[in-house]
Structure 1
Amino acid sequence: METTNTTAQRSFWERYAYAIKAIVIGILVLVLLIPTAMIMGLINERKHLQQQATEEVSAKWANAQTITGPVLVVPYTEINVIKTETAVREEEVLRYACFLPEQLTINGQLQPEIRKRGIYEVAVYGSRFQLSGSFTAPDLAALNISSERLRWNEASLAMGISDMRGIGNQVQVLWNGQPFVFNPGTPPGGLLGSGLQAKVPLAAESVDSAGASFTINLQLKGSGEVNFSPVGKTTRVNLQAGWSDPSFDGAFLPDTRKVEDKHFSAAWQVLHLNRNFPQSWILGNDKYDIHDADFGVKLFLPVDVYLKSMRAVKYAILIIGLTFLLFYFIELLRHHSVHPLQYILIGVALCIFYTLLISQAEQLGFNAAYCIATLLTLGLVTTYTVSVLKKTGTALAVGGTLLTLYGFIYVIIQSEDQALLMGSLGLFIILAIVMYFSRKIRWEALGR
């Protein structure tokens, strides 16, 4: 009786051995997703180190810069009537009105350079800007302010600089041809986060009749990007830089641009109708975000090895799953037995591909690292397959299939815009090939 049971159990395991092997292989694929998740964590850690390196360099040089202004700020007195149970009294309160320029033209020249922190590169720049333009007679009726209450002789010209450490010269303004020196500080009311202001005493008669013109020369250092706030009723920005990979960013793209091998130039024109704040308002009473319409350019470093490496790791389940499926079909069609431990070793080799990719991409760039990691992995897997299957032709077929898979993944990673289309078509073709070869397997014979 015991012999009969043993024979029945043995018959069961032998009859469904191919199905059990398939289940074991599927479990192994899922188990190997654990090291791929750990590799994703490693990529995020290396990317975080890169960000820290960028922040450290920027902290010593200067952060990304945003130039805002100039803005004319004029204090005025406002009479508030305060009523109590016993009396009525008047209280004089100091307010500030801000006026934006009628015309603003910014001509700039960037001198970018690469700074290194260990193996990481950071784009920084020095720059020279000339800001020029004019203010027209302010529309006081729109603000409901009488000219007599404005303290023209206490007016100041304010300009926002996001990182004051980057200022490289003693900034002054030629106001109607007369020089005035800027000092640190911004007007009250929260208009500008940080910046400069210069006293420009005015006479009510001159402002009402002719307005005022200004010219400001500014030397500024920064990191990564530079932005501008379109505070003029008409704002024109002309920018040139010795950089081959600009990334135009913000609320407005340039009207004209020219990008060459080692140089680019761009020009913007923004009207007051394109933004969401007026030409004048009272600070404290009205809240406007003048940075909502900022625009500018980033000094783009084209090789983002961590982004591409992360995208490559996301296809790990495809590589591992199809490789194991290939070996499984070889077992069924060629009657070669592959031990589960050998599947694990092959899967680990496929996972190590990604650590090779990341470590070399930081030094050599993504494309060269991908080729080297692919050749090393294919060489290892193919050589091991020869020793497992004892057939060089089959091992070379395995290596060729893996080479095709890695090449397919590489094309998808490079073609970011067409990745979904190419991936869908590629998976469809792979499924068709699997279905074609699976029809040669006589499943009923395996069961017997």
Structure 2
Amino acid sequence: MKNQLEGISNSIANSITIKLMVILALILVLMIPSFMVQDLISEREQQSSATIDEVSSKWANRQEIRGPVLSIPVEKSTTTKDGIQLSTRLIHILPEQLKINGTVDPEKLHRGIYQVTVYQTKLDLEGNFDLSALSALDENEKPKLDRAFLSIGVSDLKGIKDEIKINWNGQSLMATSGTNVPQLIASGVSVSLPDLQEKLSERSTFKLHINALGSESLHFVPVGKLTEVALNSSWNHPSFGGNVLPENRDVSEAGFTADWKILELNRNYPQVFWENQFSENLTQSAFGVELKSSIDNYQQSMRSAKYAALIISLTFLIFFLVEIMTKHKIHPFQYILVGLAVCMFYVLLISITEHLSFDLAYLISVCVTLSIIGFYSLAIFSARKYSLILTLVMAGLYGFLYIVLQASDYALLIGSLGLTVILALTMYFTRKVNWYAISFDSKEPVPST
């Protein structure tokens, strides 16, 4: 009975089919630590985001400039059976022209190991208003031109560094905090205007300067019938977004310049409207720039971790083929240790990228992982030839993964072509192997290619 059990045990140990099933099971088991690595990356990313939000809230959050918007109370008289009733509502007039010229000076703040990008912006706004639209009001609607006011939206007032003075038709006016139209402009400043009665037949001009702090992004709402915005900055990794992309942009190592030109036809709200009719439309029309790092290390690390199953599978495939060629049996426990070493690559990668660039962190992690697996395989196979071949092939795998990570737009194409080549090479080198005849205790050599 003992001899029969030993025979069965030896048959199982020497069976290629069973070995393949064990390797497949080990790959599935090793998905558990790979998923734990992805959770770790997500946790670190959330911690980084929380730190950025905390620092930004103390400096100043994302800034959005909206306006200026001219608002005029209109008193309407309605005749009813009880007499004449008076009601008042606001009519909003947007600028005919709005030009914004500004600079964005970035700065990097540090909180522990995390880095937060903030900026100081200096903006010059100028343009004019056409009040001729008031002539279209009904005879029972009377604009209160002595109660008109301007509203300028600044999304985080904490960032304003200097007092805001508005040059209105040559007259200097001081802005006060808060707006009288919170549903249209939630945060900002307002300016009470002098009587506009004398300006009904001509355009009213304005100029103002905004010196403000912000973080991560700067956006604008195109309230002008013609809105022109020009920005320049020393930040060399801008991301232009929002509803409109810049007409012209120039990005170099020295920084970027960009300019936008938006017509009334490019947005979904008119020049003149009542109350809060188009508040949501104004929000949706915002555009601007985000100050992003050249590489999102957490995003890159997460993308690489999603290839863990592929790297583990191909690593096991290489070990298995060497095992077949050398007739040197590798214990499942040894496969597990190699798989864990592959998983440790991603832990090293995410920990090092928090201190160094992604490229350097990737290189260090690859070198450490290949050194561990290479020396371990040398002890297993007791042959430098096979250990060197295995190390070089794995280096090629990590090089292939790096190319896929860098070429995000072509990742699917490069990945599919690479896997096709790997499959073709595997089929070529194993084309003469008789899988039914071969076993680990077989004395017959595996056919060479």
TM-score under structure 1 length normalisation:
0.94
Cross-structure match for 1:320: 312
The reply on whether 1:40 has 2:33 as its aligned counterpart is: no
Identify which of 132, 137, 140 aligns with 2:131: 137
Cross-structure match for 1:181: 174
Secondary structure at the residue paired with 2:132? coil
CA distance in 2, matches of 1:45, 1:89: 67
Q: Structure 1, residues 312-361: CA drift from partner, whole Å, max 9, x if none?
A: 11111111111111111222222110001111111111111111111111
Equivalent pair of 1:224/1:300 in contact (CA under 8 Å): yes
Please say which of residues 177-186 and 133-142 is displaced more in the overlay: 133-142
Within a 5 Å distance, the mapping from 1:107-146 to structure 2 comes to: 107-140=101-134, 144-146=137-139
Cross-structure match for 1:155: 148
CA distance in 1, matches of 2:10, 2:276: 87
Cross-structure match for 2:55: 57
Equivalent pair of 1:140/1:146 in contact (CA under 8 Å): no
Q: Cα distance 1:24–1:80, how it changes in 2: closer, same or farther (>3 A)? A: farther
CA distance in 1, matches of 2:79, 2:355: 71
CA distance in 2, matches of 1:101, 1:118: 46
Cross-structure match for 1:106: 100
Cross-structure match for 1:257: 249
Letter paired with 2:246: P
Gaps of 5+ in 2: 443-449
Cross-structure match for 1:267: 259
Q: Cα distance 1:276–1:171, how it changes in 2: closer, same or farther (>3 A)? A: same
The reply on whether 1:202 has 2:202 as its aligned counterpart is: no
CA distance in 2, matches of 1:138, 1:390: 92
Cross-structure match for 2:20: 22
Cross-structure match for 2:378: 386
Q: Cα distance 1:27–1:202, how it changes in 2: closer, same or farther (>3 A)? A: same
Identify which of 161, 167, 177 aligns with 1:168: 161
CA distance in 1, matches of 2:195, 2:304: 63
Identify which of 370, 376, 382 aligns with 2:368: 376
Secondary structure at the residue paired with 1:209? coil
Cross-structure match for 1:403: 395
1:8 deviates by: 7.9
Secondary structure at the residue paired with 1:428? helix
Q: Structure 1, residues 192-244: CA drift from partner, whole Å, max 9, x if none?
A: 1111111002232x232112100111111100110111100001111111211
Q: How many residues align?
A: 440
CA distance in 1, matches of 2:18, 2:112: 51
Letter paired with 2:189: L
Among the aligned pairs, what percent are the same residue?
39
Cross-structure match for 1:340: 332
TM-score under structure 2 length normalisation:
0.93
Cross-structure match for 2:446: none
Equivalent pair of 1:189/1:284 in contact (CA under 8 Å): no
Q: Cα distance 1:108–1:442, how it changes in 2: closer, same or farther (>3 A)? A: same
Q: Cα distance 1:155–1:396, how it changes in 2: closer, same or farther (>3 A)? A: same
Q: Cα distance 1:10–1:56, how it changes in 2: closer, same or farther (>3 A)? A: closer
Q: Cα distance 1:279–1:187, how it changes in 2: closer, same or farther (>3 A)? A: same
Gaps of 5+ in 1: none
Cross-structure match for 2:447: none
Secondary structure at the residue paired with 2:246? coil
1:276 deviates by: 0.3
Q: Cα distance 1:285–1:78, how it changes in 2: closer, same or farther (>3 A)? A: farther
Q: Structure 1, residues 28-51: CA drift from partner, whole Å, max 9, x if none?
A: 001001001000001001111111
Letter paired with 2:171: Q
